[in-house]
Amino acid sequence: MMDQISLALPSHGVTQPITLTPDPVSMTPTDDIAAWADAHQRAYLINFYTATEDKPLDALADAIRAVCQKGFGVWMEPPAGNPAKSIRPGTHLIEIALFGVTGSGLTLLEAANSWRIAARRVLEDGESMS
């Protein structure tokens, strides 16, 4: 049995129906597992976005970095020094991938703002997370 709930962004009045299932391991079709992951990722995105939408960019950048360090996303900064000598892949940009939303910029604040704009667009348009 699946429970259906609706999560809304208070400042935007957007309501997204989300079906949460108790156990992804019990699901066999790949589509079911993808739907489960999509629903949970969207719930995390809504909670994080709602908690940080009015925060200044420096606070948002700190929050994104902290959540990424806990394993919920990826925060990649360009290598220090000579990038040609680095074995780490990447670009000259700061790149963020968090809760299915990506953002990038030349500075920490630009990357955080890029992520915020993309997250708002995903939530308002009801785009798929995968």
Angle at 83 between CA 62 and CA 73, to 5 degrees: 35
How would DSSP label each residue in 55-109? S-HHHHHHHHHHHIIIIIEEEE-PPSS-GGG--S---SSEEEEETTEEEEESSHH
For 30-82, the pLDDT digits (tens) are 667 777 778 888 999 999 999 999 999 999 999 999 999 999 999 988 777 66
Segment (H or E) for 54? none
Residue 126 has pLDDT above 60, yes or no: yes
Q: Give the domain ranges of the chain.
A: 3-125
pLDDT of 19 over the 60 cut: no
Note the pTM of the prediction, 2 decimals. Answer: 0.70
- At 53 the pLDDT is 92
User: Please, which pLDDT band fits residue 114 given cuts at 50, 70 and 90?
Assistant: very high
User: What local confidence, expressed as pLDDT, does residue 4 receive?
Assistant: 43
Rounded Cα gap, residues 37 and 89, in angstroms: 27
110 in Cβ contact with 94 (< 8 Å): yes
3-class secondary structure, 43: helix
In order of 33, 40, 74, the CA distances from 25 in angstroms are 8, 14, 25
Mean confidence (pLDDT) of the chain: 78
Residue 90 pLDDT: 60
pLDDT number for residue 64: 95
Please give the pLDDT value at position 101: 95
Q: Yes or no: say if 17 and 126 are a contact pair by the CB < 8 Å rule.
A: no
Instruction: Compute and round to an integer the Cα radius of gyration of the chain.
Output: 17
